[in-house]
């Protein structure tokens, strides 16, 4: 039974109509509904507003009750709590003329209350099934708490980690980014929305938001179409092909036009080329921001956005305030408004909200479905999998559960920062901080001494501006306390790096090295000559050359509600690290942008060149290589790769071939290796990257065990967009590389020809 005042009869009429005219029941239902809607009600469906909780831009919450009653709101975002969602929904359904339900959205980007590592960390697991599972758990918790729609995944490729939102995506690679994006869509949406655990995904930020110049958030993007198609579009497209129900436009400009009003992007590429049939929402107030981009005034900007194919206006109130006037003045047509309205109503229909607007508002379910032990178990496992061991000199790790451990650094006792950036629904009162995690694991076996030791950054204003609750302490006193406990300890663990808000939206950094106060303390601790393990908490690739030269063990940590327990598991050997970087970690910020899948210049210096070479493409003061390359990560054990065996040295344009290696666990622990396949097209009509990831496999190997690992090379893996933007496979020679990370020295190589 459909709901709402007039809607109870609608279902029946629609059913009759669909029987009489063979119409699709959804079309019939929406036709009937729209025939009853006033122009104001139609425009109301295109309006999304905050409902008082979270605001990230300049827009303020308004008294929404009246607007809901008037049918002026089609969606609200970021309201936490099933009771609050239900109250808002009730007004829309029971007090507005047509009783059209709201679609309630939220940024559930790496979990609801059970918080997984930040998306960049989830990607570092390369565990596609695990990532899908994490998204499904997020959907279960969010849906039980009133949320029908998540603004995730983020498909933005980012090769410049100065951009703080590198944290929210899968990193620098389009192939891996695509696998992650589609897995998240599957996890959120399932096969259909009949299951009330499933919610609608929203692939964002369309498009190219991660290519902001100089990594400064919201900055200009300017890029060739060739590069868009070959390097940046894939994750969005993969999410669309996986069935993502919605797309969010980005804040940046593309080809000189704000993405929100870029018809080529939103209609030609997204809908016409990729076949997207869901609805498009703007990013936060981005129609208003068009004025600052220098396009036009609110009314004209709103008309441009609608005509470009954007359907819903996130919080700018530009549609609701101007579209009727624009209709009267001929700036937009009735059919522009109807099309957008229909798309929004279709989403609501598909989600089953007309059948039951309270589908996601069951208070009892909310209580029994949030932060459950079984969800936390999955989060703990994925968090263990996400850590990337960068260095382990002298096999300091794993540590023994004995003696005295000194835990030092501003991340040591911060329950607020442990989840990382942008978890709207997280509840820090429920999570352990690092000290609590270590104490629990070491209880009765070893002693933990702990102190903050230093500030995140030297400037108290900046430390507060990032919203961390870690106090700003006196530098000298902090250092004294740190040195004092370090002297009493057998091993020093430093929990340092970025607080939760030093990455994420609006958190660009021009210097991505370890901030000065933390590095100074590390240097002081080093003088004690004791084993030091650095836990580098980061929401991006950071530049830790000094640390890699001076600290014997370093592990990259990507936050999460279960991070403290997962850290204890890995530090003390109950779990073995297996994560691999999905971003290149630079030696210095001056190398940026830095990515493994670059195009050769005509004067390449060659990977691994160990000194400056005049008149070749390199720097005087730093080598071209990453400090830690894409795909890199150590284990407590070691793996050896055999040479590659190819099933054939040639393949046809319709054929395929198989590449096989044998991987052996040659170390002392059971472990998991992430084997990576790269391809280099040696002869093509346009310049092609020196290597591109085209496959990967997670391989569990017991100590001493060997396994054969096979990759099938299909034409699809070899295709690219040529200068006419046609997707082609060109004949010629290809190099194929398989190994443990993207650097040449870590890869076995073979060649084949496409005839
Ligand atoms: C702005 C962000 O860019 C976007 O990712 C997010 O979904 C919206 N705000 C809503 O919070």
46 DSSP assignment: T
Strands 692-701 and 671-681: antiparallel
Q: How close is the Cα of 495 to the center of ligand 1, in Å?
A: 29
- Residue 598 clears pLDDT 70, i.e. is over it: yes
pLDDT at 11: 59
Note the helical H segments in 387-474.
Answer: 434-442, 460-465
pLDDT at 7: 54
149 lines ligand 1 (CB under 6 A): no
Q: How confident is the model at residue 409 (pLDDT cuts 50, 70, 90)?
A: very high
Q: What is d(CA 90, CA 167) in angstroms, rounded to the nearest whole number?
A: 36
Give the residue from 534, 552, 556 showing the smallest Cα distance to 385. 556
107 lines ligand 1 (CB under 6 A): yes
326 DSSP assignment: H
165 lines ligand 1 (CB under 6 A): no
Q: How close is the Cα of 275 to the center of ligand 1, in Å?
A: 24
Average pLDDT over residues 395-412: 98
- Residue 682 clears pLDDT 50, i.e. is over it: yes
DSSP per-residue codes, 620-663: SSS-SS-SB-TT--B-SS-EEE---EES-SEE-TT--EEEEEEE
625 lines ligand 1 (CB under 6 A): no
283 lines ligand 1 (CB under 6 A): yes
204 lines ligand 1 (CB under 6 A): yes
At 749, is the secondary structure helix, strand, or coil? strand
Q: How close is the Cα of 635 to the center of ligand 1, in Å?
A: 36
Give CA 345 to chain center in angstroms.
Answer: 28
Give CA 138 to chain center in angstroms.
Answer: 14
Q: How close is the Cα of 168 to the center of ligand 1, in Å?
A: 11
Protein residue with its CA nearest to atom 9 in ligand 1: 284
The preferred substitution site among 246, 284, 422, 507 for testing ligand 1, maximizing ligand atoms within 8 Å of CB, is 284
Q: How confident is the model at residue 53 (pLDDT cuts 50, 70, 90)?
A: very low
The phi, psi pair for 271, rounded to 5°, reads -90, -45
Q: Which residues contact 527 (CB under 8 A, 6 or more apart)?
A: none
pLDDT at 6: 52
Q: What is d(CA 629, CA 585) in angstroms, rounded to the nearest whole number?
A: 6
At 703, is the secondary structure helix, strand, or coil? coil
Q: How close is the Cα of 38 to the center of ligand 1, in Å?
A: 30
pLDDT at 54: 35
- Measured in residues, the chain has a length of 755
Of the listed ranges 49-63, 112-126, 276-290, 399-413, the one predicted with least confidence:
49-63
Q: What is d(CA 247, CA 654) in angstroms, rounded to the nearest whole number?
A: 34
- Residue 51 clears pLDDT 90, i.e. is over it: no
Q: In the numeric block, which tokens belong to residue 575?
A: 């779990």
Q: How close is the Cα of 520 to the center of ligand 1, in Å?
A: 36
Contact 319, 313 (CB under 8 A): yes
- Residue 12 clears pLDDT 60, i.e. is over it: no
Q: How far is CA 211 from CA 203, 215, 216, in A?
A: 16, 7, 9
pLDDT at 464: 86
Give the residue from 691, 111, 143 showing the smallest Cα distance to 379. 111
For residue 107, the ligand 1 atom closest to its alpha carbon is 7
For residue 205, the ligand 1 atom closest to its alpha carbon is 5
Burial class (CB in 10 A: 0-12, 13-18, 19+), 51: buried
Active-site residue flag, 621: no
Q: Is the dihedral of CA 720, 722, 725, 726 positive or negative?
A: negative
Q: What is d(CA 150, CA 718) in angstroms, rounded to the nearest whole number?
A: 34
Dihedral of CA atoms 70, 72, 76, 79 in degrees, nearest 10, equals: -30
163 lines ligand 1 (CB under 6 A): no
pLDDT at 59: 39
pLDDT at 22: 79
Helix (H) or strand (E) holding 49: strand 47-50
The phi, psi pair for 732, rounded to 5°, reads 140, -170
For residue 424, the ligand 1 atom closest to its alpha carbon is 11
At 449, is the secondary structure helix, strand, or coil? strand
- Is 0.75 surpassed by the pTM of this model? yes
607 lines ligand 1 (CB under 6 A): no
Contact 641, 626 (CB under 8 A): no
558 lines ligand 1 (CB under 6 A): no
pLDDT at 9: 58
Contact 130, 179 (CB under 8 A): no
Q: Per DSSP, what are the bridge partners of residue 281? A: 248, 312
151 lines ligand 1 (CB under 6 A): yes
692 lines ligand 1 (CB under 6 A): no
Contact 526, 550 (CB under 8 A): yes
Q: Tell me the pLDDT tens digit for each residue of 160-191.
A: 999 999 999 999 999 999 999 999 999 999 99
Of the listed ranges 7-16, 236-245, 529-538, the one predicted with least confidence:
7-16
Q: How far is CA 486 from CA 482, 489, 517, 533, in A?
A: 6, 5, 17, 12
217 lines ligand 1 (CB under 6 A): no
Burial class (CB in 10 A: 0-12, 13-18, 19+), 274: middle
- Residue 60 clears pLDDT 80, i.e. is over it: no
359 lines ligand 1 (CB under 6 A): no
- Residue 428 clears pLDDT 90, i.e. is over it: yes
Give the residue from 436, 513, 523 showing the smallest Cα distance to 479. 523
Average pLDDT, the chain: 95
Protein residue with its CA nearest to atom 8 in ligand 1: 284
Q: In the numeric block, which tokens belong to residue 132?
A: 């899908």
Average pLDDT over residues 614-637: 98
Contact 379, 110 (CB under 8 A): no
For residue 56, the ligand 1 atom closest to its alpha carbon is 9
The preferred substitution site among 48, 52, 505 for testing ligand 1, maximizing ligand atoms within 8 Å of CB, is 505
Q: How close is the Cα of 712 to the center of ligand 1, in Å?
A: 38
For residue 154, the ligand 1 atom closest to its alpha carbon is 5
Average pLDDT over residues 704-710: 98
Q: How close is the Cα of 373 to the center of ligand 1, in Å?
A: 29
For residue 250, the ligand 1 atom closest to its alpha carbon is 3
Average pLDDT over residues 372-381: 98
The preferred substitution site among 248, 250, 288 for testing ligand 1, maximizing ligand atoms within 8 Å of CB, is 248
Q: What is d(CA 396, CA 674) in angstroms, rounded to the nearest whole number?
A: 23
Q: Which residues contact 118 (CB under 8 A, 6 or more apart)?
A: 110, 167, 168, 420, 421, 503, 539, 558, 559, 560
Catalytic one of 283, 565, 569, 625:
283
pLDDT at 1: 44
Give the residue from 270, 143, 119 showing the smallest Cα distance to 200. 143
- Residue 606 clears pLDDT 90, i.e. is over it: no
289 lines ligand 1 (CB under 6 A): no
Protein residue with its CA nearest to atom 4 in ligand 1: 283
pLDDT at 5: 54
Protein residue with its CA nearest to atom 1 in ligand 1: 284
- Residue 61 clears pLDDT 60, i.e. is over it: no
513 DSSP assignment: B
Protein residue with its CA nearest to atom 10 in ligand 1: 284
The preferred substitution site among 54, 107, 119, 166 for testing ligand 1, maximizing ligand atoms within 8 Å of CB, is 107
Burial class (CB in 10 A: 0-12, 13-18, 19+), 22: exposed
For residue 209, the ligand 1 atom closest to its alpha carbon is 3
CA atoms within 13 A on the CB side of 5: 14
Protein residue with its CA nearest to atom 11 in ligand 1: 107
pLDDT at 153: 99
Contact 114, 371 (CB under 8 A): yes
Q: How close is the Cα of 252 to the center of ligand 1, in Å?
A: 13
186 lines ligand 1 (CB under 6 A): no
Protein residue with its CA nearest to atom 7 in ligand 1: 151
Contact 427, 479 (CB under 8 A): no
Give the residue from 24, 88, 95 showing the smallest Cα distance to 346. 24
Average pLDDT over residues 596-602: 97
Give CA 235 to chain center in angstroms.
Answer: 11
Q: Which residues contact 241 (CB under 8 A, 6 or more apart)?
A: 182, 274
Q: In the numeric block, which tokens belong to residue 342?
A: 């229909």
pLDDT at 572: 98
The preferred substitution site among 48, 103, 151, 209 for testing ligand 1, maximizing ligand atoms within 8 Å of CB, is 151
DSSP per-residue codes, 197-240: T--B-EEEEETTGGG-GGG-TT------HHHIIIIISHHHHHHH
- Residue 52 clears pLDDT 80, i.e. is over it: no
Helix (H) or strand (E) holding 21: helix 7-21
Helix (H) or strand (E) holding 401: none
Rounded to 5 degrees, what angle do the CA atoms 461, 466, 469 make? 90
Average pLDDT over residues 371-399: 98
Q: How close is the Cα of 284 to the center of ligand 1, in Å?
A: 6
Q: Tell me the pLDDT tens digit for each residue of 102-138.
A: 999 999 999 999 999 999 999 999 999 999 999 999 9
Q: How far is CA 24 from CA 244, 339, 352, 598, 604, in A?
A: 21, 17, 15, 48, 59
Q: Tell me the pLDDT tens digit for each residue of 450-507.
A: 999 999 999 999 998 878 889 999 999 999 999 999 999 999 999 999 999 999 999 9
Q: Tell me the pLDDT tens digit for each residue of 14-43.
A: 555 555 567 899 999 999 999 999 999 999
Contact 166, 539 (CB under 8 A): yes
Q: How close is the Cα of 205 to the center of ligand 1, in Å?
A: 9
- Residue 636 clears pLDDT 80, i.e. is over it: yes
CA atoms within 13 A on the CB side of 500: 27
């Amino acid at each position: 039974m459909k709901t709402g005042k007039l809607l109870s009869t609608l279902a029946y009429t629609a059913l009759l109509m669909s029987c009489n005219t063979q119409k699709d029941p959804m079309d019939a239902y929406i036709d009937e509904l729209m025939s009853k809607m006033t122009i104001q009600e139609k425009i109301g469906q295109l309006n999304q507003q905050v409902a008082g909780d979270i605001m990230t831009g300049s827009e303020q919450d308004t008294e929404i009750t009246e607007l809901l009653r008037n049918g002026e709101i089609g969606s609200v975002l970021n309201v936490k709590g099933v009771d609050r969602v239900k109250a808002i929904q009730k007004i829309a359904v029971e007090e507005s003329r047509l009783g059209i339900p709201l679609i309630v959205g939220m940024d559930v980007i790496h979990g609801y209350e059970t918080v997984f590592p930040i998306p960049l960390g989830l990607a570092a697991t390369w565990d596609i099934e695990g990532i899908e599972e994490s998204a499904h758990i997020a959907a279960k918790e969010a849906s039980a708490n009133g949320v029908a729609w998540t603004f995730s995944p983020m498909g933005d490729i980012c090769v410049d980690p100065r951009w703080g939102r590198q944290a929210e995506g899968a990193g620098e690679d389009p192939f891996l980014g695509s696998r992650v994006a589609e897995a998240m869509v599957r996890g959120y949406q399932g096969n259909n929305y009949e299951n009330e655990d499933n919610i609608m995904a929203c692939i964002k930020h369309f498009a190219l938001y991660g290519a902001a110049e100089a990594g400064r958030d919201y900055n200009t993007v300017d890029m060739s179409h060739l590069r868009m198609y070959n390097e940046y579009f894939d994750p969005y497209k993969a999410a669309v092909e996986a069935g993502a129900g919605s797309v969010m436009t980005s804040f940046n400009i593309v080809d000189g036009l704000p993405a929100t009003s870029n018809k080529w992007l939103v209609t030609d590429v997204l809908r016409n080329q990729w076949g997207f049939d869901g609805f498009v929402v703007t990013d936060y107030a981005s129609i208003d921001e068009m004025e600052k981009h220098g396009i036009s005034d609110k009314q004209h900007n709103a008309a441009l956005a609608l005509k470009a194919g954007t359907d819903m206006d996130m919080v700018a109130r530009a549609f609701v305030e101007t579209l009727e006037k624009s209709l009267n003045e001929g700036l937009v047509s009735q059919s522009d408004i109807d099309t957008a309205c229909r798309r929004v109503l279709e989403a609501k229909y598909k989600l089953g909200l007309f059948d039951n607007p309270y589908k996601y508002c069951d208070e009892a379910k909310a209580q029994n479905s949030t932060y459950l032990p079984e969800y936390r178990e999955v989060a703990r496992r994925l968090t263990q999998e996400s850590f990337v061991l960068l260095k382990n000199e002298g096999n300091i790790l794993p540590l023994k559960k004995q003696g005295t451990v000194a835990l030092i650094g501003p991340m040591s006792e911060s329950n607020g920062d442990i989840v990382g950036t942008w978890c709207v629904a997280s509840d820090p009162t429920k999570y352990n901080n690092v000290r609590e995690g270590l104490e629990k694991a070491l209880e009765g076996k070893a002693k933990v001494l702990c102190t903050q030791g230093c500030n995140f950054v030297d400037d108290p204003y900046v430390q507060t501006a990032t919203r961390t609750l870690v106090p700003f302490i006196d530098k000298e006193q902090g250092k004294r306390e740190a040195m004092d406990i370090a002297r009493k300890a057998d091993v020093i663990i430093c929990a340092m790096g970025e607080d939760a808000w030093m990455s994420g939206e609006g958190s660009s950094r021009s210097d991505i090295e370890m901030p000065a106060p933390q590095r100074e303390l590390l240097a002081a601790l080093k003088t004690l000559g004791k084993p030091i393990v650095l836990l580098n908490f980061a929401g991006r690739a950071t530049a830790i050359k000094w640390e890699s030269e001076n600290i014997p063990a370093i592990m990259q940590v990507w936050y999460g509600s279960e991070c403290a327990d997962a850290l204890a598991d890995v530090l003390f050997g109950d779990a073995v690290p297996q994560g691999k970087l999905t971003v290149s970690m630079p030696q210095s910020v001056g190398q940026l942008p830095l990515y493994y899948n670059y195009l050769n210049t005509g004067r390449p210096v060659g990977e691994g060149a160990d000194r400056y070479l005049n008149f070749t493409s390199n720097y005087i003061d730093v080598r071209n290589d990453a400090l830690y390359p894409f795909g890199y990560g150590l284990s407590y054990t070691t793996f050896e790769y055999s040479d590659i065996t190819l099933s054939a040295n040639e393949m046809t344009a319709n054929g395929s071939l198989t590449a096989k290696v044998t991987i052996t666990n040659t170390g002392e622990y059971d472990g998991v290796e992430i084997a990576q396949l790269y391809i280099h097209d040696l002869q093509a009509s346009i310049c092609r990257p020196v290597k591109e990831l085209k496959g990967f496999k997670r391989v569990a190997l017991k100590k001493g065990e060997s396994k054969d690992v096979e990759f099938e090379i299909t034409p699809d893996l070899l295709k690219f967009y040529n200068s006419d933007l046609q997707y082609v496979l060109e004949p010629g020679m290809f190099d194929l590389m398989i190994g443990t990370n993207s650097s040449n020295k870590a890869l076995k190589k073979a060649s084949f020809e496409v005839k």
